[in-house]
């Protein structure tokens, strides 16, 4: 059977692409504007045959890219995030309108399906009006169905990180078909009703499956003379949990889970999770942050990539096992037709 093809918008370092590749798809092209993220993307040996367009999406013409079966888009979430400016489509920095660039590619390339990924807060932003605008464009203007759902990686990806994200899936020429959230069995009359949102799965991994137990580079450890060391030493007692320094206090994340990794880990390092190992108190390394996103072991940041960029890229990424499960569900829905 011919492999379904994918075009990836706002690809970052390729988390969504890896998830689809692991599900049996073929990623044909990707677009990413951030130069440092592109360096990391290109550093992964499995991506060597993917055409990467390193340019502002506004300058990328749809005639430049190959037609594909699926378009994926992790369009920038700052405009919709609680941590951002909450300005949505009116974001003064122009980030909110990047959704419309995704819509442009869907309109011109007419893929069989799409997958959008964003922060959970997108669902309730501006009292739900932002999501309604997105739905109106995809359904009423472009003729696709609209299936939004929220998944947490700890419940759907067997990854010990609390990370809730909204995912939106839709299928071409099915704008008049509503998704049945209460269905008891597959309905093959349409891809929309054949699609199955992944069910929860047991969390079998814990934080020790994602961290390295050998001594890490000294730069990740807090020295005793560090101004925060006394309070860290006082508050951090357990090795089976992850802590965060929140500028004025230490927060313990219980239940053997990693807190949500964020892009601003790369902005001063205050939000980088902390652990205790045999050698002292230290930050998670960027590679360990990738582990908490479900990246394969052979995925590495470029050797000379600054930690600030590496942390930001890891925090901006996705939980790959969750993406893989969604990709499998898309493929099965399309194959049911």
| Catalytic residue ranges | 77
The label of the residue with tokens 């209460």 reads 182
Q: How far apart are CA 282 and CA 275, in angstroms?
A: 6
Q: Are 275 and 288 in contact (CB under 8 A)?
A: no
Q: How far is CA 99 from CA 88, 90, 93, 134, 302, in A?
A: 10, 12, 14, 8, 30
Containing 141, the helix (H) or strand (E) segment is: none
Q: Which of helix, strand or coil describes residue 227?
A: coil
Q: How far apart are CA 315 and CA 321, in angstroms?
A: 16
Q: Are 334 and 112 in contact (CB under 8 A)?
A: yes
Nearest to 239 by CA among 207, 273, 216, 205: 207
Strand segments, DSSP code E, in the chain are 5-9, 26-31, 51-53, 70-73, 113-119, 147-152, 164-171, 242-245, 250-253, 274-277, 280-283
DSSP string, 241-287: SEEEE-SSSEEEE-TT-BPPP-GGGGSSSTTS-EEEETTEEEEPPHH
DSSP string, 143-173: -B--EEEEEEHHHHSS-SB--EEEEEEEEBT
């Amino acid at each position: 059977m011919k492999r379904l093809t994918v075009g990836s918008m706002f690809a970052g370092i390729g988390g969504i692409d890896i998830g689809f590749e692991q599900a049996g798809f073929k990623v044909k092209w990707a677009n990413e504007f951030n130069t440092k993220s592109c360096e990391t993307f290109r550093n992964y040996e499995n991506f060597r045959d993917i055409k990467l367009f390193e340019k502002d999406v506004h300058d990328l013409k749809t005639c430049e890219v190959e037609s594909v079966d699926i378009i994926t888009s992790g369009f920038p979430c700052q405009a919709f995030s609680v941590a951002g400016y909450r300005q949505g489509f009116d974001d003064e920095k122009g980030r909110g309108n990047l959704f419309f660039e995704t819509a442009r590619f869907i309109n011109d390339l007419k893929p069989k399906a799409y997958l959008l990924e964003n922060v959970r807060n997108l669902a309730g932003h501006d009292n739900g009006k932002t999501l309604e605008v997105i739905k109106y464009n995809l359904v009423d203007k472009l003729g696709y169905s609209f299936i939004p759902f929220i998944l947490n990686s700890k419940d759907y990806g067997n990854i010990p990180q609390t990370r809730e994200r909204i995912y939106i899936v839709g299928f071409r020429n099915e704008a008049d078909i509503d998704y049945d959230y209460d269905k008891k069995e597959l309905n093959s009359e349409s891809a929309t009703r054949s699609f199955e949102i992944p069910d929860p799965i047991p969390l079998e991994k814990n934080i020790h499956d994602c961290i390295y137990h050998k001594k890490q580079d000294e730069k990740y450890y807090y020295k005793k003379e560090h101004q925060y060391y006394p309070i860290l030493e006082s508050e951090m007692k357990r090795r089976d949990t992850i802590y965060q320094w929140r500028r004025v206090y230490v927060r313990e994340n219980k239940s053997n889970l990693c807190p949500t990794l964020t892009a601003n880990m790369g902005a001063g390092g205050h939000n980088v999770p902390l652990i205790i190992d045999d050698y002292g108190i230290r930050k998670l390394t960027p590679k360990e942050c990738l582990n908490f996103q479900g990246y394969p072991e052979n995925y590495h940041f470029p050797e000379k990539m600054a930690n600030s960029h590496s942390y930001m890229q890891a925090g901006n990424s996705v939980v790959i096992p969750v993406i893989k499960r969604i990709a499998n569900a898309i493929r099965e829905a399309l194959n049911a037709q």
